[in-house]
Every structure is written in C-alpha cells, then in structure tokens.
Structure 1
C-alpha cells in the first residue's frame, strides 16, 4: 500500500494558517470562554459548580484542538509567520482556561467534607473524581486565585514569550554544511540527521558545524533560558516552594522515592553499558566513542536504508501478533495521512505526536530519511497516537495523562518493533546492527536523559543565586554529560543546553526524567505482555485508560502488582536490556 508522507491537516481545518474556518473556531472559543468566565459568580451552588466543571472541560477540548493545529503548522514550516502569530492567541486562550480552573479550584477547596462528597458522588463526575481531588489539593498549595491569575497573565508576554523567542530563533537558523562538494544551508532538524549518519566523517563534520552554529546563538539562548528559569523560580518562591522538583513530580503524579529508586538502579547498572560502549568504539576503529558516535549505526554490510512505505508495512506486520487492535489502528492512521514524514527543508527538528480531541484523531510529525532510528521514531509516535485513541471517548480530564506515562505506549510500540527486527534479521551482521541500535536507544534514556536531568537540577539551583553566563552553562552541561556517561566519551557537547528544545519549553518543567520513567515502565509492561501473549491486549488497553486517573504508583500496583518505590521493578526492566548487551558482546567477541 502507498502511504502519504505529507499529513492531512485540511480535514481538521481547511486552509492552513490563513484558514477562515480556523479563525472562526478560535473566535467562537473566545466568546465561549468569556461567557463562562462571566457566569462564575463569587458564590456557586453545587449544581452550578458541576455545570462549570463540564463547561470548562469542553473548552479545554476546543483549545487543545486549536493549539494542536497551530503546533502542526509551525512544525511543518518554521517560516510560517501567520502560524507563529497564532501561537500568541493559543497561549492567551490557555491562560484563560487556567484562570477559570483557578476559580473553580478555589471553590473546590472551600467545600466541607459533606459538600465534597455530594459533588463527587454525582454520576456525571464519576469519571473525573481523581482529577478533581488532585486539583483541589494542589490549589491549597498555590497563591490566591487572583494572584495566580495575575501570574498567568503576566506569563503570556514574559515566561511564554521567552519560549517563543527561542523557537523563532531556531526556526531561522540556516547552518552551512558541505555535502557532495557543495555547500548547503541546513535547518537544525536536517543537521541533526547528519549527526546520525552511518558515515563517521559526516558525523564528525556535522558535530563541528553544530557546535559552532549553537555557539553563535549562545548569547541569545542563554538569555532565554535564564529568564525562563527566573520566572519559574520567582513563582515557586511566591508559592513557598523550595524544591524545584516539586512541580514536575506533581505534574507526573509520582513520588520522589520513585524517581530516586529509578536513577539509583540505573546508575548501579551503568558499568555493564560502559563495556558495550568500549566494544562499539573498537568496532568503529576508535579509542573512545565521541558524542556523535553513541547513537550512530555500525557500518555493517547489508544494513541498508528502508523506504517509508516498507517501514509502514513492517510496523503494521509486527504490531499484529501483540495487538490486532493496535495494528488495525496503525494501518488506518498511516493510510489516512496522520503522519508528516517528508524530508524537506523548512521543517522544525525532532518529532512529536499531537492529538485533536474534537476530531478524535492525532497527527505525527517527523523527518524520515530511511534509517532504523527513523523507523523506531515512527513506531514510537504511533504508540502515542494509539494511547490517545484508547482515551478518546473518556471525559476530557481523564484524557490528560502526565508526560511520564505518556511515554508508556510509545516506548512499548517501539520495543515491539526493535525486538521483532532483531529476531528476524537475515544475517548475523544485520542482527548485530539492530542489536546495537536497540541498546543505543537505552543509552539515550540512561545517559543522555540523565545528563539533562543533572544539568537542569544544578542549573536551577545555581539560577536561584544569579544569571549564568554562556561559559557557566557550557561548563554545567559538559560536567553533567561526563557524569552521566561515566566519563567514557572522547568528546562532549557543551552547547547541548542551547540546542535541546526541551530546556526551553514553558509548558512542562524538567522535560527529561519522564522519558526514562516511560521507557523502563513500558519495558515492565512489555515483559508482562510477553508472558501473557495475545490475552494481554485488553489488559494493556485498561492500563492505558487509567493513565490519567491515578498516581503512577497506584497504576503500577493495580495493573502490574509492583511497587515503583523499590528497586526490584526497575532492575527487572533493565535486565531485559542487559540480555541484549550480553548477546551483542558475544556476537562481537572475536
């Protein structure tokens, strides 16, 4: 089957960033937001409160629909100025939603025990009881509703504006790169693909060019990062929050004990991965891996490029034995143009999946160039889309899962493909290449993400005292990378703090450790799926449907019968990767 490589956005809103349909939709949302805000008085009855909760949930869906559309427009063409302007309106509407919720949360916090029980026992709210309780408790730890409203409004042209400055600056970057005797101007996303090239000389040149490009913009990006952090820290201080991890842990519905157990177990297992890194360096003919070598493919005969169409067929084929429902969903998503995969200039770097809740669809963004890493990315993002599909008929609040469990379905899907490819490898050389790719993906979670976490934790502590210079940020970044990688690399990327979008995102603080959590959590689920076989499909869907309705510790206890605050679960998940390391070492022991 022929699968389109350019996504269909017209079925969502026709006309792109100049869509009259979209403009009307946004204007109507503004009207509805104003009506709801005006209808909430200083006092409310329980019946009115119940109705307000339903109304704001529906408006959440409208703003998510519009925001997803704008994110697609800005990703597919970073020079789309009209789409960039729409980002401001999306932030404005999100702030209005946030302020309405602030008022509702204040009412929830003032309810006595009998009133609270009366409210949450109502059938229409049965699907969001956990979410309302969560908001009720969090409201008690914040500023007054008026103060929170003011902070949210100031954030539009302060906090969020700095994030937009970063995105705009990255979007205009044109990085010179010599290729086939000609100098080309590449976007940041295109250069990233060169850093993953199978040709080491290309990777080396790309790393040099990349560091220079980000160093050139470093003064600007140091300003954006410092001011983003400053705004966040000042808000935390006003709320009386001293721990910078308080908010990210709350957002991810997890305990500090769980985070500590995960990182300490990973650290204890790193020496085994150092052995793998040393062996890979030998296979590449170098003394130590450079940063650009860690995730690069091995130069193995028979490991050829795979077309987009073949990649789609391969993913569907290997999803089928695990979950016919997942396979059927994937085929439909690929066939119906849910994926933007074309390799062209002007696209933003990276990949993502975004949901359109009113359309009950998703869209996937990536730049596909035929590598196995691209196949893994496609499977990963399709997993995200399936997660949204499983939740599409639930109450809006019960669809808002946290980032750490957001990575569950995606990594589960990616692992299915990685394992299947290894088992079906036509030659030992291809098997070796696929094994290496699979292990290297785990290094991203155990080391690259760990470096980001270490950097961000230390940066925020330092930022409490002063603004940090480019040189200080570079030093913090390189020190974090050396620690996370066990000082095993020949080169590091001191400007990574500038090049990594996740440090500059305003929507979610600490956009790092949830990835590692999701990776290992999904491996634990995968282990159970292997043991249960096809019968696990419905259990898996039930787990996904609970991801926005309980803490991760309760989710794991209910569906996997494990305690995430203990090391046992994390070790069992890591053991699955260690089996791959042992096999890799055995295959290359010559």
Structure 2
C-alpha cells in the first residue's frame, strides 16, 4: 500500500539475503547445543502474552483513537495553523506507535514458528484489526496533498512542526499518483486479502517444503546450506534435490508471481506510475537515475568482479567448469570448524568496540536482554532480519545461526541494523524509519568492521586468502547477484504486461541474467532455471534487492573515506545513523564528501572489491 496507513513489518523490517548468499547448514532443530547457549527472544517487552489484557487494552485504544482522529481532522486539515497541525502529527505518531507495537509482537511470534496455527491466526487477526481500525486514517495523506503549497509552508513555520518537513515532502512527492479517496479506502480495506494473502501463501508453501538428500528429510535452510558443504557430492545432491522439489511446486510459485506482478501493474496503471519501479524509488526516497547509475556501474563491472573471481575459484577447486553447487563452496584450504556462539559474539563486539566503544555499548543489550533469537528451529522463518519494532521499545534480531564464518558476518550485519535502529529511535515514530537504500548502511559497515578485524588477525597466508575470498563472495552476492535479481524482476514485470507468464517463460527470464552476471566459468544444471521461485524479496517487496547493492557500494566508499581520513569520522557516522529517515541521502553523505548521484561514486566502491581480487590473483 502506497498511501494508506501501514504499521509494523514493512519491507525494511527484514533482511533475508540469506536465501541466496547466506545459506545455512545442518538440520533444523539439531543445532542449538552444538554452538553454545543460543539466545532466544524475550518478547515480554512488547506484551506478556497473546491473551494478555494489555493486548486488548491497546486494540481498544487504537480503535477509538483512529475514529476520533478522523472525526477531529477529516476535511479540516487545510484550515489548521502550524500549532494545530503539530498536534495532529503527534496524535498520528502515537497511533502509529501503538499499531506498530501490536503488529510487531504478532509478527515476531509468527516468524518464530510460521507453521504454528495459533500464531498464524493471531498474526492474521491482528493485521485484520489494525487494517480495519486504521481505515479512517486513509484521508490524511490524501488531504495533505490537496493543501496549497503556500499553506503548507506557512504551517511549517511553526518551530515544532518544522522538524516533520521530510514527512510532508515525501507525501507530496506522491501527489501525482493519488487515487480518489474512495479508491484509496477500498485498497486499504482489501490489503489483507491482496498482496498480504499471497505473501502468506508463499511463506507457508516454502516452510512446508521437504527435501530428501541422501535419505535425510530436510527443510529449505538445511538443504540449501548443503550446497556450501566441503563434500562436492553432497553439494550436488542437495542442488539437484532443491531443483526437483522446486520443480514439483513451480505452478504455485508461478501463480504467486503472476498474480502479484499483475496486481502491481493494475495499481500502477490506475495511479499513473510510469514504471513498475517508480513506487519503490519513491518509498526509498531515491531518484531513478541514481539507481540506474548504480545498476549500470555494477553490470559494467561484471567482468572484473564476478567473472574474474569465479575463474580464480574454478582453478582453486581444480575444475574445468563450475556448477551451480560450486558457487558457494568453501575453498579447499578452508577450516570447516564451527564457530561457537560466544566466539562469534566476541569477534563482532571486539570489531565494534575497535571502531568506537559506544558502538559496542549499543550492541551489548541484544546479547543480554533477549533481543536476539539465534537458533534454527522447526517452522522458524529462514534467513535473518533486524526488526525495529517501535521507538518506545527496541529492535529484535533474528538469525539462523549454524557456526559458519558467514554466520558471524550475518551477526555483524544484523547487529549493525539494530544499532542503527536504536540510534534512529530518538527521531520518533514517523521519522526514525530509514529508506531501504540507507537502511543497509550500518549493517554492511558492521560487516566491514568485523571483516577487517578478522583480516588483521589472520596468522597465515591461507587464512588471509580464505577471509579475502569470503568477503569477495559476499560482495558479489550483494552487488552482482542483487543487481542481476533486480534485472530479472524488471524483465518479469515488463513481460507480465503482455499477459500471463508460463513457468517456462519465467525460467527463461531467470536464466537470461545468470550467465551474464556469473560469467563463463559456470555451467548450469537442468533445474537451476527454477531457483528464482524461493527468493522472498520478489514476493514480499518487489525491487527491494537493489537496496543491498546500494548499501554495499555506499559502505565501500564510506569505509574508504574512513581509512583516508579517520579524524572525526566516528562522530559524523553516529550523526548519520541518528538521523534515521529525517534527511535525504545527499544530506547524509555530504559531511563525508560523498555523492551517490555521481556515477564515479559507485566505481570507487566497486574498485575496493576489485583490489581484493587483485590480491587474491597475486597469491596464486
């Protein structure tokens, strides 16, 4: 929904890159004792239980608050002075906070166990009630966008209201695409049986998939991770079984993608949006030309990044051609020893403290106060995310920790999100949320700090080689793979305009970006053409994926600026995170002398990865 009220669990709540680049291993439910005492969420900071009186209290308050808000302000916004509009915004913000707390609690419970019928019902019921209660609020952005510019400017002269200027500016960017009030209300009411329902179908289908690999029944997490096992025969067996199971379910996935793409096309047509990507760019507060500059820079760099690296890896593995099950394979000299949870915690916290003690202090409560859920469990959502909840609570981090080096980097990544969300909370509910393009900044920077700390501690050339290769692979998965995914989505949505797409057509679109992005070192097994079907971003948040590439490229340039001129960098960095969504990317990057609208900006970030490949080549 682009105009109606939205609460918790928006797209920025999740970081599910694990589906492609951060695969996990072993069987669900078997790992908790293997890596130490893995933490679990304590959700009591939100609510004591699903049947707690506080839940009913907040639902009752929300229903009344939304009704009274509409009664007090609908049809009257243009006549308000700055002080009255400020009161209006504060009431809107409080509604957002209470709805967000309810939605966060229900969502976090659900993602702990997506196959639990009680949790699924609670989540669905809460979503339904929030949607119904907040329906009267749909008028707000529509009516604001009908107020004359000079009237809005007069309101914003009020000192307290002035800090909310970014809210008004972002709303008014959507003016050309508004529907009538009646249609906006209809879309709001239908949302729970629209995209949301198809998202649930996708989630439940993926959660129920079973993969039989060498006689063992596995879930998706476990099967996918075997594609990064030391044993090549296990990697192949897993890849072929994933392809087999996806192939058997491809009709369902095809229906989901056809429906969601068509729904998007219909909405775009009614709103007059020029491209399927326009809504995402507007919600990200980023200009289309900036995204295209990023996309073009990465595609142009395929030969010097992924093509060159995978040719090196082909040689290290002693193969004539790489197969898809070799892409995330460990190097022959890589130590497969599991990293204990306490060791992972120490690695990340030492790296954070090495940057600035404050960063470690902000991360500490995640480990000590039940803000992390780390173990792999039956029914738990795959991947990893950091969800900010609401600004009068705190974020929660979800992992599926299985002791790999990449799991350590995932911990660093999600803690970066968490630190960012804690710092941005002081902006309040309406200004704390960071556009997706900037939401990855602290997470990727946290990874970079952890990687550099580990690299500095490498005792042998082989250890350094493994670390460098791992970082390059993560960067390829973040930059190259995500831009290839973005191209796939663009092709899919464009093709859907011409009519219903068959599974074979979508498969062909997927394969059209694979060889281009991965390079000539690869062959592609039969069945790999279906691997688009289990990537959640295409379903939950179309065109989300370029935000990962944006964040990785931005952080590479940011880290280079830190190395070149560390004096005062930490203070500027914390100020950037504290700003949340209150500033445009140009304002946030200006203190560092960086400009994402300059095409050379992206080349600077890409050059950092290329230089790592240079070092790897020199080691051979």
- Alignment TM-score, normalising by the size of structure 1: 0.93
CA drift at 1:142: 1.4
Residues 189, 347 of structure 1: 8 Å contact kept? no
Tell me, in whole angstroms, the C-alpha distance in 1 between the residues paired with 2:52 and 2:314: 52
Tell me, in whole angstroms, the C-alpha distance in 1 between the residues paired with 2:273 and 2:445: 35
Alignment of 1:335-350 (within 5 A): 335-350=368-383
Residues 3, 335 of structure 1: 8 Å contact kept? no
Alignment of 1:54-69 (within 5 A): 54-69=90-105
- Alignment of 1:214 with 2:246, yes or no, is yes
CA drift at 1:364: 0.8
Residues 97/495 of structure 1: CA separation in 2 closer, same or farther (3 Å cut) = farther
CA drift at 1:568: 1.4
- Alignment of 1:513 with 2:531, yes or no, is no
Tell me, in whole angstroms, the C-alpha distance in 2 between the residues paired with 1:472 and 1:356: 39
Residues 102, 139 of structure 1: 8 Å contact kept? no
CA drift at 1:86: 2.9
Tell me, in whole angstroms, the C-alpha distance in 2 between the residues paired with 1:293 and 1:118: 61
Return the match for 1:313 from 330, 346, 361: 346
| Bigger mean CA deviation after superposition, 79-88 or 226-235 | 79-88
CA drift at 1:99: 4.8
Match in the other structure for 1:31: 64
Match in the other structure for 1:448: 481
CA drift at 1:473: 1.2
Q: Secondary structure at the match of 2:216?
A: strand
Return the match for 2:288 from 256, 260, 263: 256
Q: Secondary structure at the match of 2:212?
A: strand
Residues 4, 337 of structure 1: 8 Å contact kept? no
Residues 484, 517 of structure 2: 8 Å contact kept? yes
Return the match for 2:568 from 529, 535, 538: 535
- Alignment of 1:203 with 2:228, yes or no, is no
Tell me, in whole angstroms, the C-alpha distance in 1 between the residues paired with 2:356 and 2:407: 22
Alignment of 1:75-94 (within 5 A): 75-92=111-128
Q: Secondary structure at the match of 1:110?
A: coil
CA drift at 1:197: 2.5
Count of matched residue positions in the alignment of Structure 1 and Structure 2: 580
Match in the other structure for 1:192: 224
Tell me, in whole angstroms, the C-alpha distance in 2 between the residues paired with 1:245 and 1:226: 17
Q: Secondary structure at the match of 2:568?
A: helix
CA drift at 1:317: 0.7
CA drift at 1:460: 0.5
Per-residue deviation, residues 102-158 of structure 1 (Å, max 9, x unmatched): 412233223234421221122222221112121023134211222112122223212
Residues 489, 542 of structure 2: 8 Å contact kept? no
Q: Secondary structure at the match of 1:151?
A: helix
- Alignment of 1:371 with 2:407, yes or no, is no
Return the match for 1:118 from 124, 134, 154: 154
Tell me, in whole angstroms, the C-alpha distance in 1 between the residues paired with 2:359 and 2:212: 42
- Alignment of 1:484 with 2:517, yes or no, is yes
Tell me, in whole angstroms, the C-alpha distance in 1 between the residues paired with 2:153 and 2:348: 47
What is the RMSD computed on CA atoms of the aligned residues?
2.2
Match in the other structure for 2:533: 498
- Alignment of 1:575 with 2:607, yes or no, is yes
CA drift at 1:8: 1.7
Match in the other structure for 1:400: 433
CA drift at 1:27: 4.1
Return the match for 1:13 from 42, 47, 51: 47
CA drift at 1:90: 4.4
| Bigger mean CA deviation after superposition, 364-373 or 486-495 | 486-495
Tell me, in whole angstroms, the C-alpha distance in 1 between the residues paired with 2:273 and 2:521: 37
Match in the other structure for 1:130: 166
Tell me, in whole angstroms, the C-alpha distance in 2 between the residues paired with 1:265 and 1:217: 36
Residues 372, 397 of structure 2: 8 Å contact kept? yes
Per-residue deviation, residues 30-50 of structure 1 (Å, max 9, x unmatched): 332233234333234315443
Match in the other structure for 2:266: 234
Residues 471/301 of structure 1: CA separation in 2 closer, same or farther (3 Å cut) = closer
Tell me, in whole angstroms, the C-alpha distance in 2 between the residues paired with 1:435 and 1:140: 47
| Bigger mean CA deviation after superposition, 43-52 or 198-207 | 43-52
CA drift at 1:189: 2.1
| Bigger mean CA deviation after superposition, 30-39 or 63-72 | 30-39
Return the match for 1:271 from 300, 303, 319: 303
Residues 568/93 of structure 1: CA separation in 2 closer, same or farther (3 Å cut) = farther
- Alignment of 1:106 with 2:142, yes or no, is yes
Return the match for 1:175 from 194, 206, 211: 211
- Alignment of 1:522 with 2:560, yes or no, is no
Alignment of 1:137-152 (within 5 A): 137-152=173-188
Residues 358/566 of structure 1: CA separation in 2 closer, same or farther (3 Å cut) = closer
CA drift at 1:583: 1.1
CA drift at 1:190: 2.5
Tell me, in whole angstroms, the C-alpha distance in 1 between the residues paired with 2:62 and 2:155: 27
Residues 532/26 of structure 1: CA separation in 2 closer, same or farther (3 Å cut) = farther
RCO (CA 8 Å, sep 6+): is it higher in 1 or 2? 2
- Alignment TM-score, normalising by the size of structure 2: 0.89
| Bigger mean CA deviation after superposition, 128-137 or 284-293 | 284-293
Return the match for 2:355 from 322, 339, 344: 322
Tell me, in whole angstroms, the C-alpha distance in 2 between the residues paired with 1:25 and 1:191: 41
Q: Secondary structure at the match of 1:494?
A: helix
Per-residue deviation, residues 248-302 of structure 1 (Å, max 9, x unmatched): 1111111122112212222222222212211111111222222232233213254
Q: Secondary structure at the match of 1:356?
A: coil
Residues 52/301 of structure 1: CA separation in 2 closer, same or farther (3 Å cut) = closer
| Bigger mean CA deviation after superposition, 459-468 or 270-279 | 270-279
Residues 354/312 of structure 1: CA separation in 2 closer, same or farther (3 Å cut) = same
Match in the other structure for 2:257: 225
- Alignment of 1:418 with 2:458, yes or no, is no
Residues 24/173 of structure 1: CA separation in 2 closer, same or farther (3 Å cut) = farther
Residues 322, 533 of structure 1: 8 Å contact kept? no
CA drift at 1:3: 6.4
What residue ranges of structure 1 are gaps of 5+ in the alignment? none
Residues 371, 395 of structure 2: 8 Å contact kept? yes
Per-residue deviation, residues 145-196 of structure 1 (Å, max 9, x unmatched): 2211212222321222111111121222222233xxxx33222222222223
Per-residue deviation, residues 195-220 of structure 1 (Å, max 9, x unmatched): 23233222211111111111121111
| Bigger mean CA deviation after superposition, 378-387 or 49-58 | 49-58
